């Protein structure tokens, strides 16, 4: 689903906008780095593996995926993305996911943007629950969610395949009235 009015990023010098196909080369450039995907379920072989996601972004269905570009305002470059998948219009829930180019790690960007987008999603989309699943080895992402007031709800054993092997994921969630 296209996002016409993105929220403020919550971080100085960064803005959010709809992720576009023209962002594909920069997005893939950092997603192909082993350190970026090591603790995720990404399994990309080429830029083309990301193309099907854009069909979801273009869909008008209320259950379609939504993704924003995180943009460096000075250079105008994409430095990360954040958005929602597994959206349930009936249950008013979604799963949040984000990624960031490694040169921007450790600066509080992911926490600021995750917090801003989560808060915005409750009013913009009427979600009552936003959840996140984090590969159990991804302590950085777990810290981001904890800073954003997501609560740890448990371990999902063998929840998703990680490059051919089942992986355990931690489940976090935040409710609109938390």
CATH of the domain at 54: 3.40.630.30
Residue 33 lies in a domain: yes
What stretches of the chain show up as alpha helix (H) in DSSP? 24-31, 34-37, 51-58, 109-124, 139-147
Q: What is the per-residue pLDDT across 33-79, written as a single tens digit (0 to 9) for each?
A: 989 888 888 889 999 999 999 988 989 899 999 999 999 999 999 99
- With CA atoms as reference, report the closest residue to 21 among 63, 67, 72: 67
Is residue 157 in a domain? no
Half-sphere exposure at residue 59, Cβ-oriented, CA atoms within 13 angstroms: 15
Q: Are 127 and 155 in contact (CB under 8 A)?
A: no
Residue 166 maps to a domain: no
Q: State residue 69's pLDDT score.
A: 98
Backbone CA torsion sign across 27, 28, 31, 33: negative
- Domain span holding position 107: 14-128
pTM of the model: 0.94
How many domains does the structure of the chain reveal?
1
- Answer yes or no: are the C-beta atoms of 81 and 19 closer than 8 Å: yes
Quick: pLDDT tens for 102-140: 999 999 999 999 999 999 999 999 999 999 999 999 999
Among 116, 121, 174, which residue's Cα sits nearest to residue 149? 174
In a domain, 152, yes or no: no
């Amino acid at each position: 689903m296209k996002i016409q009015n993105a929220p403020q990023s919550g971080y100085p010098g960064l803005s959010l906008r709809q992720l576009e196909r023209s962002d594909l080369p920069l997005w893939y450039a950092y997603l192909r780095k082993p350190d970026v995907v090591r603790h995720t379920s990404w399994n990309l072989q080429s830029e083309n593996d990301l193309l099907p996601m854009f069909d979801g972004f273009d869909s008008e269905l209320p259950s379609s995926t939504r993704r924003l570009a995180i943009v460096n305002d000075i250079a105008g470059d994409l430095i990360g993305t954040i958005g929602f998948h597994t959206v349930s219009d009936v249950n008013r829930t979604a799963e949040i996911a984000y990624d960031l180019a490694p040169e921007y790690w450790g600066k509080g960007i992911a926490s600021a943007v995750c917090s801003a987008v989560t808060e915005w999603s409750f009013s913009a989309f009427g979600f009552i629950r936003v959840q996140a699943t984090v590969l159990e080895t991804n302590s950085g992402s777990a810290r981001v969610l904890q800073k954003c007031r997501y609560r740890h709800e448990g371990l999902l054993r063998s929840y998703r395949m990680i490059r051919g092997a089942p992986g355990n994921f931690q489940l976090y969630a935040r409710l609109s009235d938390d």
